[in-house]
Amino acid sequence: MEANEILAKAESLRNGLSTGFRDEIVKSLYTEAETIAKRAVKSISDKKYDFDQKIDRLVTSPYAGLPIMLLLLSLIIWLTVSGANVVSGWIAVVLFGIGDYGRALFNQIGAPWWLTGFLWDGVYLGLAWVVSVMLPPMMIFFPAFTFLEDLGYLPRVAFNMDWLFKKTGAHGKQSLTMAMGFGCNAAGVIATRVIDSPRERLIAILTNNFVPCNGRFPTLIMLATVFVAASFPPALTSFIAAGTVVGVVLIGVMFTFLASWILSKTVLKGEASAFTLELPPYRRPNVSRILYTSIIDRTIFVLWRAMQTAAPAGALIWVLANIHLGDSNLARMIADWLNPFGLLLGLDGVILLAYIIAIPANEIVVPTMMMVYMGAGMMINGPTSNSAIFDLLVNGNGWTMLTAVNLMLFALLHNPCATTIMTIYKETKSLKWATLSVVMTLGTAFLVTFLTASIARLLGWA
Amino acid sequence: MTNTKTVLPTEHCETCPAFTQLEQMGIKVGDFDRVIALAGNPNTGKSTLFNALTGLKQHTGNWPGKTVTRAEGGFEFNKMRYKLVDLPGTYSLLSASQDEEVARDFILFGQPSCTIVVCDATSLERNLNLVLQVMEITEHVVVAINLMDEAKRKGLEVDARSLSRDLGVPAIAITARTGDGIHTLLGAVADVIEGNIVTKPLRVHGTPEFQKAVNELVPMIEQMAPGIPNARWLAIRLLDGDARVQKALSTGELGDIVSRQQRADVQFSGKMSVEGRQ
């Protein structure tokens, strides 16, 4: 029996049926469900959904909905920034202290200089940096985010943002996938499976990277704290820093809309499709589960991944910095070679070198950058306070406010990390879309930083 | 959890269905006797039930569409080893999005020994649509009415016995979060698989002429793909003009899906659980 025969037979049988047979089946399905449910469910009071509905009327109202959302986002980021700042210092002191001890021990037992350097100034320093930069913000951000997720707030976000996505020709559920992107862009890309239409799913995949993931948050937090907030009175520091990070996130959201709109007008033409989204009841979050999910599944998982790339990256930098050629070393030479292009973007050669080394994982950009700045074979460890970092960057390496702002923009807009690119490739099964995701984001990053740098220079700000 | 009571068993317990052994086996599901699928609408607590049974920590979250991949785990109940497959939530079996396709393909072609359809007690009517559709495909169905605590808080009383009677399959009230009713649920699942409970699933038949058309198509499909489960359901979908099923039939994809879903190594892959991390 051939497939075509069966199809033909089905076709002819279908034509023989009265026209309403399809509706008939669906209708009987629904009536059946209705009668059965009615028989089984009794309402014993009329309090019903009162409380949930009252809250929902507020958090999804056309006026208060978006401001409340912004407020919650700001609150989470403020908690993260102010908490991370405290913890970060302690962790840095402990980890860099261990580094000193280990180095001293190696010297004492007479280990060769290259072994001590490779292990303690390369591999260990890379690890210590990545842990002290990343762990504190994640420890606070992930539990707070998971709390909102368990509470049932995320679908309300989708509800509030739906009209905006519709205007750009994208799917309303894209805000759910963006929310996942805050944790990890690769997870955000996988989460796009909830979007039915392939066209809108591709838009969500390609633009997910404009949400800064947890690998990039620490960079933003550090720059916002050290540069933007530094000139304000100490009491305001955490608010200014948090406000700056919120601003960067909002710029990312803006670029998401812009890119979605351009995509749906060009390569991914089409109208936004309608969908139903349930607003689940608010549920009391389970504290132990939140801690498990956010600490084990998210924090440790992401940190472990970062450490796996930080160790070889640290080793690579040490090797590059210790291959001497004349007065200079290889790391310096590559950075110098990249410098003109870096300056054009308001950045510098070291930052670009750090980004190239950090392609496997964005988390290691700051650590890589710091290690190159501090140079080879340095016997002092990483700066453990904000003022020391400020001093190293501004007085030691000629950073300006423009460098800091453009680095934040670059961190927000540049290409996805290797894991995310691989995930995009796996999800779309297409080299074309994976490539586009890189070209589009990197192009945007270059263009935007070039423009801000040029404007700032024209106006004499930098 | 209710199964951690420290009361010592007496001889009566041997025969009491409530005294049963549940051992969580996590992802160690090398050997298993039976496969159970967890289906249901989005956000009805499938993953919570999955975690309660397997002891795994599959990430749960309060939003529809959280589980996009299939998670698998194992548990032992009354000396039988079960493999449990947590499927993405789906409103119907007729849909197009990728997460719902994962669920549909498995229920259709994975031939689980039993399918537990998890329902939200607070919005039963909508949930029953899926129950009815799953019962079209297989008679090995147990309905779990979850979120009974939430229903109670909202002043709703759900009569599971009335549901069992109307649906023709066991319906068990549970609260997956606290573990209430889970042993009764597993007992019902075991009974359905062993044939101690003979289910008579309610089926929506449609008009007599429609029935006749279905009966004409079924033997043709079975002849083309011997051993294909659910020929009846496929016939209905073909009569309905389901483009996806038509395409699967003409490209031979259908045969591939059947063999893929039935291969044990694909049914359990560690990769899935990693990808499922969100």
pLDDT at A208 (0 to 100):
96
pLDDT at B168 (0 to 100):
94
Domains of chain B: 2-202 (3.40.50.300), 208-262 (no CATH)
Measured in angstroms, the CA of B219 and the nearest CA of chain A are apart by: 10
For residues B104 and B89, is the Cβ–Cβ distance under 8 A?
A: no
Question: In this complex, do A194 and B99 lie within 8 Å of one another by their Cβ atoms?
Answer: yes
A362 — pLDDT class (breaks 50, 70, 90): confident
Question: In this complex, do A40 and B98 lie within 8 Å of one another by their Cβ atoms?
Answer: no
d(CA B107, CA B130): 12
Residue A11 included in any domain:
no
Q: Sign of dihedral through CA atoms A414, A418, A423, A425? A: positive
Question: In this complex, do B159 and A1 lie within 8 Å of one another by their Cβ atoms?
Answer: no
Find the largest Cα–Cα distance for chain A: 93
Residue A274 included in any domain:
yes
Taking CB atoms and an 8 Å cut-off, how many pairs form between chains A and B?
183
Residue A167 included in any domain:
yes
Taking 70 as the pLDDT cut, the residues of chain B under it are 1-21, 25-31, 57-70, 94-99, 227, 229, 255-278
* A residues 62..91 contacting B (CB < 8 A): none
d(CA B141, CA B170): 8
- Contacts for B142 with CB less than 8 Å, ≥ 6 apart: B114, B115, B116, B117, B169, B170, B171, B172, B185, B188, B189, B192
Q: Which two tokens stand for residue B190?
A: 């075991």
For residue A297, give the nearest of B59, B88, B97 by CB distance.
B59
pLDDT at B43 (0 to 100):
82
Measured in angstroms, the CA of A370 and the nearest CA of chain B are apart by: 31
Q: Which two tokens stand for residue A340?
A: 């003109």
pLDDT at A376 (0 to 100):
45
For residues B202 and B196, is the Cβ–Cβ distance under 8 A?
A: no
d(CA A157, CA A55): 13
Question: In this complex, do A47 and B154 lie within 8 Å of one another by their Cβ atoms?
Answer: yes
- Tell me which chain A residues have a C-beta less than 8 angstroms from the C-beta of B164: none
For residues B119 and B44, is the Cβ–Cβ distance under 8 A?
A: yes
3-state secondary structure of B86: strand
**Chain B interface mutation, best of A1, A6, A282, highest count of B Cβ atoms under 10 Å:** A6
Question: In this complex, do B43 and A180 lie within 8 Å of one another by their Cβ atoms?
Answer: no
**Chain B interface mutation, best of A19, A27, A147, A193, highest count of B Cβ atoms under 10 Å:** A193
Task: Supply the ipTM of this predicted assembly.
Answer: 0.76
For residue B129, give the nearest of A33, A39, A42 by CB distance.
A33
- Tell me which chain A residues have a C-beta less than 8 angstroms from the C-beta of B204: 25, 28-29, 32
pLDDT at position A320 over 60: yes
pLDDT at A325 (0 to 100):
83
- Tell me which chain B residues have a C-beta less than 8 angstroms from the C-beta of A5: 220
Residue A394 included in any domain:
yes
d(CA A460, CA A458): 5
pLDDT at B63 (0 to 100):
58
* A residues 16..35 contacting B (CB < 8 A): 16-18, 21-22, 24-25, 28-30, 32-35
d(CA A304, CA A299): 8
* pLDDT, tens digit (0-9, with 9 covering 90-100), for A253-266: 999 999 999 999 99
* A residues 212..251 contacting B (CB < 8 A): none
pLDDT at B4 (0 to 100):
47
Residue entry with tokens 């809250």: A55
Question: In this complex, do B162 and A151 lie within 8 Å of one another by their Cβ atoms?
Answer: no
Measured in angstroms, the CA of A427 and the nearest CA of chain B are apart by: 11
A462 — pLDDT class (breaks 50, 70, 90): low
Domains held by chain A: number: 1
Nearest to A34 by CA among B110, B153, B177, B127: B127
Nearest to A399 by CA among A340, A448, A459, A350: A350
pLDDT at B109 (0 to 100):
74
**Chain B interface mutation, best of A27, A31, A32, highest count of B Cβ atoms under 10 Å:** A32
Amino acid residing at B189: V
Which domain does A200 fall in, by range? 61-458
Q: Please give the backbone phi and psi of residue A63, each rounded to the nearest 5 degrees, phi first.
A: -95, -50
Question: In this complex, do A301 and B240 lie within 8 Å of one another by their Cβ atoms?
Answer: no
Residue A27 included in any domain:
no
Residue A7 included in any domain:
no
Q: Which long-range contacts (CB under 8 A, 24 or more apart) does A52-58 make?
A: A52/A281, A52/A282, A55/A282, A56/A156, A56/A279
**Lowest mean pLDDT: which of A3-12, A422-431, B34-43?**
A3-12
Q: Which two tokens stand for residue B225?
A: 């793909």
Question: Which pairing describes strands B34-40 and B114-120: parallel, antiparallel, or unpaired?
Answer: parallel
d(CA A108, CA B47): 55
Question: In this complex, do A37 and B99 lie within 8 Å of one another by their Cβ atoms?
Answer: no
Helical (H) or strand (E) element with B80: strand B80-86
d(CA B215, CA A118): 75
Residue A124 included in any domain:
yes
Residue A2 included in any domain:
no
pLDDT at B183 (0 to 100):
93
* A residues 338..357 contacting B (CB < 8 A): none
Q: State the pTM of this model.
A: 0.74
A48 touching B (Cβ < 8 Å): yes
Higher pLDDT, A203 or A231: A203
d(CA A184, CA B178): 31
* A residues 137..176 contacting B (CB < 8 A): 146, 149-152, 154-155, 173, 176
d(CA A54, CA A93): 49
